[in-house]
Amino acid sequence: MTLEHHANPTAKIAIITGGSRGIGRSTVLNLAKRGVHSIFTYHSNQAQANEVVGLVTQAGAKAIALQLDTAQAGLFDGFAQQVQASLRELGASRFDYLVNNAGTSSNSSFANTTEAELDALFAVHFKGVFLLTQRLVPLMHDGGRIVNISSGLARFAMPNRAAYGSIKAAVESLTRYMAVELAPRRIAANVIAPGAIATDFSGGVVRDNAEVNKLVASNTALGRVGLPEDVGPVIAGLLSNEFSWINAQRIEVAGGVHI
C-alpha cells in the first residue's frame, strides 16, 4: 500500500502492531487526529487495513499498512526492512513511537492449558513484543516513546485466564526493564492495561454475549464495558509531549473494574 505523495517530514511517525481493528485501530485514528502518521500491521484482513488507511487519509494524516504475524520472530528482520522503506516513503529515516498492541486471547483454565497454547500466547504477547521492539528500537529517534499493551488481568485473577494474565504481567515487568535500559537514549516505556473491551477479541464475547457484558459492567465502577474509543485516545495522549515525563508506569484504562 503506497502513498500518493510524500508526507510532511516534520510530522511524528508511529508504528502500531495490530492496527487494523479494535484498540489498535482506535489508536491509529486518534494519532491521525493529532497529525501523527502511522505504519501499522495487520495479521490477515487486508480489506480492514485498507479501510483504516482511508480513514487516516480523511483525517489529514498518512498511514501505511504492512502484513505481519507477530508470533513469527523470524519475520522481524524482513519487517524492519519494510519499515525502513515505509519511512522513506513518508519522507523520514526514523520513527518516534512504538505501540505493541497485537494480541490473541485465551479462555483455558490453568488445568487445561496445553503446552501448544501456552507457547502460542508467549510467542505473541511476550517473545514478539521483546524481539520486535529489540529489532525496531535502532530505527527510533532518541527521545521516542514505547507503549506496551497489558490487561487488567495482570492485576486481578479470574477463572480461565491463567496463561494470558500471567504473560501480560510479564510484559509489565519487561516494560520497566525497557525504561531502564533505553534511558540513555531518553526513550520512555509505559504500559496501558485495558479492561474488558467490546471488540471481536476472544470471539467477540464481551461485545456479543449479553451475560458476559452484564457481568463485566456489574463489576465496573462506571457501570459499563469498555470500548476501543475509551482506550485509543489514552494511548495517543500518552505518546504526546504532554506526558513526556511519565515513564515505567502502568495505567489501567478500565472504568474502575474490580476496585
State the maximum Cα–Cα separation within the chain, in Å, rounded to a whole number.
54
- What mean pLDDT do residues 82-86 have? 98
pLDDT reported for residue 10? 82
Pick the catalytic residue: 42, 97, 164, 177? Answer: 164
Q: What is the pLDDT of residues 27-46, one digit of tens each?
A: 999 999 999 999 999 999 99
Q: Give the separation between CA 232 and CA 61, rounded to whole angstroms.
A: 16
Strand-pair partners of 193: 252
- Does the domain spanning 13-253 belong to CATH 3.40.630.30? no
Contact of 183 with 227, CB cutoff 8 Å: no
List of residues 6+ apart from 132 with CB closer than 8 A: 17, 70, 73, 76, 79, 100
- What mean pLDDT do residues 102-117 have? 93
pLDDT reported for residue 2? 44
Among 85, 94, 104, 89, residue whose Cα is nearest residue 136: 94
Contact of 39 with 15, CB cutoff 8 Å: yes
pLDDT reported for residue 155? 96
Could you tell me if residue 199 is left (phi over 0), alpha (psi between -120 and 50 degrees) or otherwise beta? beta
Strands of the 250-253 sheet, one edge to the other: 63-67, 37-42, 13-16, 95-100, 140-149, 188-194, 250-253
- What mean pLDDT do residues 121-141 have? 98
pLDDT reported for residue 5? 41
Q: What is the pLDDT of residues 158-200, one digit of tens each?
A: 888 899 999 999 999 999 999 999 999 999 999 999 988 886 6
Q: Is the pLDDT of residue 204 over 60?
A: no
pLDDT reported for residue 212? 76
Q: What is the pTM of this model?
A: 0.92
Q: Map grid coordinates 495482570 to a residue.
A: 154
Cell of 130: 521483546
pLDDT reported for residue 160? 85
To the query of whether residue 164 is one of the catalytic residues in this protein, the response is yes
Q: Is the pLDDT of residue 109 over 70?
A: yes
- What mean pLDDT do residues 96-110 have? 94
